[in-house]
């Protein structure tokens, strides 16, 4: 657990630019994207109780 605490302390000291660069490098290394998924609402039928 001490290793995680040390890592958190190190990450807390990054500048915004360094953190952004870290994200890019991790995305490339792991083949993932940190972008939040966009939910698309399905078109619903008439919800009126007519």
Nearest-10 Cα torsion for 29, 32, 35, 39: 180
3-state SS of the chain is CHHHHHHHHHHHCCCHHHHHHHHHHHHHHHCCCCCCCCCCCCCCCCCCCC
Separation CA 13–CA 8 (nearest Å): 9
Within a 10 A sphere around the Cβ of 39, how many other Cβ atoms?
Answer: 5
pLDDT at 41: 78
**Predicted structure pTM score:** 0.61
Quote the pLDDT of residue 43. 73
Q: Can you give the residue ranges of every domain in the chain?
A: 1-29
Residue-wise pLDDT for 1-50, tens only, equals 789 999 999 999 999 999 999 999 999 999 999 887 777 777 766 666 65
Report the pLDDT value the prediction gives residue 14, as an integer from 0 to 100.
97
């Amino acid at each position: 657990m001490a290793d995680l605490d040390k890592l958190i302390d190190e990450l807390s000291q990054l500048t915004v630019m360094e953190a952004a660069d870290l994200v890019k490098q991790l995305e490339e290394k792991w083949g993932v994207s940190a972008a939040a998924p966009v939910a698309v609402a399905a078109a619903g039928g008439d919800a009126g109780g007519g």
